[in-house]
Structure 1
Amino acid sequence: MIAKLVLQTFVWFGVMGALMFGSAGTLHWAAAWVYIVVMVGLSLTMGVALARRDPGLMNERLRLPIQKTQSAADKILLSILLLGIFGWLALMGLDVRFGWSAVPVWVQAIGALVLLVGIWICYLTMLENSFAAPVVKIQDERGQRVITTGPYSYVRHPMYAGAILYFAGTALLLGSWWGLASVLVFIVLLAIRTFIEEKALRAGLRGYDDYA
């Protein structure tokens, strides 16, 4: 499992780096290097900790983003979301290449903090919810139940709240106002996915109606 985590982490951020630096037309992009190094480090550190604490969840999160048991609507939306992320990274690279944005260093620093807060919220969510799979499905084989504690005592979908902060923080850290504006697209996509997930949970997870 750890070997798979390491491989997927380096492949994922390798692709992200290729998109960013390729579209920027240069490797001299300090903020992008900071982003990649920090994200690889956090992904591996938190991934190893999660694998030791909750191997069942880690196994779910290492599976492919498109699965047989996943609803058709979620397959389509998740595909759009992934393509959107790739396009978003390329857009921010083009922003750097052509100098469209002038983001002060102190704003980039704030972006880094927002990014870290978003990741921390996502991590707390996974610590609290052993069923936080990356796809929308009911995990009957793992005895899925309604989680109402931790971040879930404040908001129904804390992972999405953390993801929005992650997107916004990343755009600011990378110094792209265009990237920040594009976060609105992700907010809309996540709102639609929330609707898809709510429908699945209400239909298939006992007790969710009472929580919702």
Structure 2
Amino acid sequence: MESAMRVAGFCWLAIFVLWAILGFAVKQTVGSRSDVRARIAVWGVMLAWLILFSDGMRRGVLGERFLPMDPAIAYVGLAITIIGLGFAVWARLVIGRNWGGLITVQQDHKLMRTGPYGIVRHPIYSGFMLATLGTALIVGQVGGLISVALIVISWGYKSRLEETLMVEQFGAEYEDYRRHVKALIPGVW
């Protein structure tokens, strides 16, 4: 179980470093909804990951086990983590320089509808949600479940804020996209 968590931790760290590097290669922002509401969503994500990755945050009820300590469960969680992170990276590479850390429209922004964006409208969020679930399975504690709930709530909220900007930017094209592709979970939500 410790080895699964070490590998998952390394994968998450590599993704955070990649995100930081890719963040330097974005287009100029021309529209934004990055107000306090968007920042609240980001803070929710940060709190979720703090609980997930910090043993010190998982004390008391948050440290209670909801799964037995079982290597098979840990390695299933690791596989889910890697799949989720891979999906998020794929989406980040496809959106390329159109990506923005908060809720933004970049100069000459293109609406992506291919690759992971043909599966869900917010595949980076979906990938990180899946990876958080996988890591929560490795951890096996209530704090991991709280992290998953915070991630789902935060990115569900942020995706709704983002949708209003996308409709303003792309109009009927985005409305058509919304009719055909779910936001976060294929065929469901």
TM over 0.5: yes
Percent identity between the aligned chains? 21
SS, match of residue 201 in structure 1? helix
Residue 78 of structure 1 pairs with residue 23 of structure 2? no
Residue 179 of structure 1 pairs with residue 144 of structure 2? yes
For 1:156 and 1:208, how far apart are their aligned partners in 2?
10
Where does the alignment leave 5 or more consecutive residues of structure 2 unmatched?
Answer: 27-31, 179-189
2:164 to 164, 186, 199: 199
For 2:147 and 2:10, how far apart are their aligned partners in 1?
23
Report what 2:186 is aligned to.
Answer: none
Residue 208 of structure 1 pairs with residue 181 of structure 2? no
For 1:105 and 1:167, how far apart are their aligned partners in 2?
18
Which residues in structure 2 correspond to 1:124-163 (within 5 Å)? Answer: 124-130=90-96, 131-140=98-107, 143-163=108-128
State the Cα RMSD in Å: 3.1
Which range is displaced more, 102-111 or 184-193? 184-193
Letter in 1 for 2:24: N
SS, match of residue 101 in structure 2? coil
Counting matched residue pairs gives: 167
| TM-score in terms of structure 1 length | 0.65
| TM-score in terms of structure 2 length | 0.72
The Cα of 1:90 is off from its aligned counterpart by 3.6
The Cα of 1:108 is off from its aligned counterpart by 0.4
Where does the alignment leave 5 or more consecutive residues of structure 1 unmatched?
Answer: 1-28, 52-56, 62-67
SS, match of residue 176 in structure 2? helix
More relative contact order in 1 or in 2 (CA 8 Å, sep 6+)? Answer: 2
Which residues in structure 2 correspond to 1:33-112 (within 5 Å)? Answer: 33-41=6-14, 47=18, 57-59=22-24, 70-90=34-54, 94=58, 100-101=64-65, 102-112=68-78
SS, match of residue 145 in structure 2? helix
